[in-house]
Amino acid sequence: MDDNIKKLVDKGDMLPLMEAFYTIQGEGFHKGTAAYFIRLGGCDVGCHWCDVKESWNALTHPPTLTTEIVKNAEPFSDTVVITGGEPLMWDMTALTNILKDNNKLVHIETSGAYDLSGTWDWICLSPKKNKLPKQKIYEVANELKMIIYNKDDFKFAEKEASKVNSECILFLQPEWSKREVVMPLIVDYVMQNPKWKISLQTHKYLNIP
């Protein structure tokens, strides 16, 4: 990468853009909401069940001017969701500031494995066992989304739930490839532990991005 471009990326004035698209938020608290998604490349968390592994290598996604990313978002929904990859690998300050200047509601979906940067209207924290979140994000997360792949994940979910703030909304979500196996377990668990809610990947049922 050219040194000048690298400096811009390091400052957050350019970001490795994988894709951006207008769709319906399919998961968590804001499911059913029209939203413009900005997916950034780069992730070293390495979930074996990740459905966007092509996002992992940031070098395969061209550094794009942050101002251009925001300009492309302007005609769409008031809600913009920053996702990845792991977006907090990059400094989110410039991107979120410009989006806020354009009167957008700015959401993030993150593992929390990197320091929190940027200004957010909604933080969806989805911790992963192999690279745990930084402490600060537990204190400000609006929702905790725990992916359930097997029975052991309930223990991990409870451990992570004990770390978040009292206002954080708790979700259990079946890993898509295991949904038929774990969904009955999740239903039973939520009925016995009603502090939790169920999140589904409704966009996959609706066959939309």
pLDDT tens, position by position, for the chain (209 residues)? 788 898 999 999 999 999 999 999 999 999 999 999 999 999 999 887 787 889 999 989 999 999 999 999 999 999 999 999 999 999 999 999 999 999 999 999 999 999 999 999 999 999 999 999 999 999 999 999 999 999 999 999 999 999 999 999 999 999 999 999 999 999 999 999 999 999 999 999 888 88
Residues 6+ apart with CB under 8 A from 95: 12, 15, 38, 66, 69, 70, 82, 118
Cis peptide before 12 (omega within 30 of 0): no
Domains in the chain (CATH in brackets) are 3-205 (3.20.20.70)
Q: Tokens 């979120």 — which residue?
A: 96
